[in-house]
Homo-oligomer: A and B are copies of this chain.
Amino acid sequence: MAKTAKSRASKTQRDILDLLRKHGSRIYDDLDHGRFPNFEIPSRSVGNIVYDTKLRQYVLGKSAALRSSKNTSQLRSFTQLMWLAFFANRLTQEKKSSTLRDVYYSSQAFSIDFDDQSESDNIIVDLEAVLAKPREAMHIFPEERSSVFGDLDIEYTVPGYEGKRMNLSNHPDGYAIGPSLTSAELVGTSAEMVIAIEKGGLFTRFVEEQVDKKFKSIIVDTGGQAPRSTRTLLKRLHDELSLPVIILTDGDVYGEHIAMVIKSGSANAAHLRELTVPDAKWVGVWASDIERYDLPTIPMTDSDIKRCHDLQKDPRYSHGIWKKELEVFLKIKRKAELEAFSKYGLTNITDRYLPQKIELARSL
C-alpha cells in the first residue's frame, strides 16, 4: 500500500512535469525555427462558458485565444505566463508548497512585472486553463483551512511523511485539510457516507453526538463556502471510496449556493474537472423545512432576495429542489440557520432532523 500512495503522488507530479515539458518544447521549437512562440489559451470569457448537462458542471466551449510573443500588446502577459510555467515546474520538482500570494512576490525576484496580485492570480488561472490542471497540482495551495473527522485511514505522500499512515478519528476537534491531506492516499474507511456541514459549531456538535459512529460517516466542516482543498477532498472521497456525499447548510440562498458549488463548481473554474462532486446531495436546511420543522426565522434582506433572482437565471437552478427551494424562499421571504434547531434542544438536529434527511437522501 505504501507503494500505491507513492505512485499516486509521483503520477500527479509526473503528469504536470510532462505537460510543462511538452509546452516548453514547443516554445523552444518555435525559437529554433525562427518563429515567434505562442500559447493557445482556452477562452474564459462569459460567452465561452456553457453548462454541460452530461458532466453536470460549467465547461469551456471551443473558442481559444492565441497569446503570441509577436503581438506587442500580448508580450507582457505572454512573458508572465512563460515565467509562471517555469516557476510551477520548479515548485513541482522541489515539492514546495506555495500560495497565490507567494507566487506574486516570487515573481519580483525574477523582475517579472505584475501590477498587483490580481494580475498574477489571473495568469495562474490562464496556466490552469492551458494545462487543464488545477493549480494545487503545481503546488499552489489555498490559504483557507477547514477540517475533517471520521474513521478514514490515509497515507501521506508529502516529503518527510511519505508512507506514514494516519487515522482521522482520534482528534475530535478535527484535522485541518491542507496540502498533506488532499495529496494523501485514501487507504480505507468503515464509513458509508460523507456529511459536509457549513459551520464549525455544528461540526463539533456532530462529533460530540457521535454522528460519525451512529451514521457511519466522515464529517467535513466546510467553514462557509468550501475552500478548493475541501472540495478536492470531497470529490476524492466520493470517487475513490465510492462514498455518497450529503451537504447541510443554513436555510438561506447563500447556503443553497454553498451546496451547489460543492456539487458543480463555479463558472470561473469551468476549465477544471477536479473541483466538483456532481452526485453530492443538498439535503437541507431547505426553505420548505422552515415550515415543516417550525423553525425560528430571520427575514430575508433585499440582497438575499436579489441573490435569489440572480440564481434563477443560472441553468443549474432551473429544475428540481434547486428551483423549488428558491421559489419557496421568495414566497416566504424568511430564512433559518442550522442552529435554529436548537430551539428544540441542542441535539434535536442530530436526533431528529439528520436521520430523516439521511433517509431521504438514500431514497433520492
* The residue from B96, B145, B337, B344 contacting A174, defined by CB atoms under 8 A apart: B145
The answer to whether A342 and B98 have CB atoms under 8 Å apart is yes
How many A residues have CB within 8 A of the partner chain?
A: 57
Min CB distance A68 to B, Å, is: 29
Determine the chain B residues whose CB is within 8 A of the CB of A128 once the complex forms: none
A24 at the interface (CB under 8 A from B): no
The answer to whether A97 and B180 have CB atoms under 8 Å apart is no
The answer to whether A346 and B174 have CB atoms under 8 Å apart is no
Within 8 A of B (CB), among A323-364: 337, 339-347
Residue in chain B with minimal CB distance to A224: B143
Residue in chain B with minimal CB distance to A107: B343
Contact with B along A99-118 (1 / 0, CB 8 A): 10110111011000000000
A346, B91: Cα distance in complex, Å:
10
Residue in chain B with minimal CB distance to A199: B143
A170, B158: Cα distance in complex, Å:
12
A23 at the interface (CB under 8 A from B): no
A199, B97: Cα distance in complex, Å:
14
The answer to whether B143 and A102 have CB atoms under 8 Å apart is no
A205 at the interface (CB under 8 A from B): yes
Min CB distance A337 to B, Å, is: 7
A252 at the interface (CB under 8 A from B): no
Please name the 10 residue pairs, one residue from A and one from B, whose CB atoms are nearest each other, closest first: A173-B178, A99-B201, A105-B342, A174-B176, A173-B176, A172-B180, A101-B339, A147-B176, A108-B343, A102-B342
Q: Please name 21 pairs of A and B residues whose Cβ atoms are closer than 8 Å in the assembled complex, sorted by A.
A: A97-B201, A97-B208, A101-B342, A105-B340, A105-B343, A108-B296, A108-B343, A145-B200, A145-B223, A147-B147, A147-B176, A171-B176, A171-B180, A172-B178, A173-B175, A173-B180, A174-B175, A175-B175, A175-B176, A176-B221, A178-B200
